[in-house]
């Protein structure tokens, strides 16, 4: 486990997501969940040695960070649209129903998905108090409609989820691109200069990483717009996905997965924007 800031830790040993841990007095905030049941048990046992887990924070509805939470008896906090998305899932999850280049795609069949539905949700902004500290939750749609940030002003820390990814590109099939770009502008603003910014894919981020993400999204945005009436949309998506892969330092072992994620994401984004296109 890596110490990111005083009382703030990041665990990157589990495939699919980086997990956050915030220690506030004798209580703990857990940020996102491992995917697999045995990993959830291991993680919970590890963190319980540092205090009493109080809340689980779900930064969005990505299955890699949500599905494992069904085995936790811990109140979960999420944004309203994350709640809506999880409610729409069948109680039995099959990873190959609509693969998105996630680790969850490999799950053959799991049950009890309804147990992952968060208990506490909010619309735009919510504040809770723990150990004399304010924990601020902000709705920041982008990677997913229900994406949110967790801000801890007293610790000068912000968990930004997939708003910025470093190691690999995100799935963009349900993304809202313009608000996402606005969120990146906010991260580059003066109000955030004194904060440590933590990504769910890559850990601690800086301005260089934010700029890189903005360039990636603008490329996606401009190229997807050209797909509206493209008779060769599948071929163009293939070319665009390969091009976008070059924007990240992807390990060869991940190339097939990342290419699949990009292709499906671009197609889904195109259909989201232009459902009547070719």
pLDDT value for 229: 64
Q: What is the pLDDT of residue 278?
A: 47
User: Per-domain residue ranges for the chain?
Assistant: 2-273
The residues with which 245 forms a beta bridge, in sequence order, are none
pLDDT profile of the chain (278 residues), mean per 10: 91 90 96 94 94 96 95 95 95 87 90 94 97 96 97 96 92 95 96 93 92 96 80 84 89 85 93 69
Give the per-residue pLDDT at 78: 98
pLDDT the model gives residue 225: 84
Q: What angle do CA 144, 101, 205 make, to 5 degrees?
A: 60
Q: Is the Cβ–Cβ distance between 72 and 92 less than 8 Å?
A: no
CB within 8 Å of 54: residues ≥ 6 apart: 24, 27, 28, 29, 74, 75, 130
- Among 3.60.15.10, 3.30.1330.20, 3.40.50.2300, 3.40.190.10, what is the CATH number of 2-273? 3.60.15.10
CB-neighbour burial class of residue 150 (10 A; exposed 0-12, middle 13-18, buried 19+): buried
pLDDT at 91: 94
The confidence score (pLDDT) of residue 277 equals: 52
Contact 154, 25 (CB under 8 A): no
Altogether, the residues listed in the chain come to a count of: 278
Asked if 221 and 250 touch (Cβ cutoff 8 Å), the reply is: no
- Would you state the pLDDT for residue 276? 61
């Amino acid at each position: 486990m890596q110490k990111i800031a005083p009382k703030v830790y990041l665990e990157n040993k589990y495939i699919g997501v980086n997990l956050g841990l915030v220690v506030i007095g004798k209580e703990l905030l857990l940020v996102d969940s491992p995917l697999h049941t045995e990993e959830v048990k291991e993680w919970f046992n590890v963190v319980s040695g540092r205090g009493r887990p109080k809340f689980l924070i779900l930064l969005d509805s990505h299955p890699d960070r949500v599905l494992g939470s069904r085995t936790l008896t811990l109140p979960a906090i999420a944004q309203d649209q994350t709640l809506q998305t999880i409610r729409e899932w069948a109680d039995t999850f099959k990873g190959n129903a609509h693969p998105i280049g996630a680790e969850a795609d490999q799950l053959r069949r799991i049950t009890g998905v309804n147990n992952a539905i968060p208990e506490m949700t909010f619309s735009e902004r919510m504040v809770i108090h723990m150990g004399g500290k304010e924990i601020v939750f902000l709705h920041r749609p982008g990677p997913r409609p229900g994406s949110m940030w967790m801000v801890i002003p007293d610790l000068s820390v912000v968990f930004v989820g997939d708003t910025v990814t470093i190691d690999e590109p995100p799935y963009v099939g349900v993304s809202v691109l313009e608000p996402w770009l606005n969120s990146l502008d906010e991260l580059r603003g003066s109000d955030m200069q004194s904060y440590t910014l933590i990504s769910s894919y890559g850990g601690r981020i800086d301005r260089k990483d934010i700029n890189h993400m903005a360039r990636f999204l603008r490329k996606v945005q401009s190229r997807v717009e050209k797909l509206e009436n493209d008779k060769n949309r599948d071929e163009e998506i293939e070319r665009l996905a390969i091009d976008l892969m070059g924007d990240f330092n992807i390990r060869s072992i991940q190339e097939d997965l990342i290419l699949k994620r990009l292709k499906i994401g671009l197609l889904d984004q195109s259909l989201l924007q232009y459902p009547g296109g070719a």
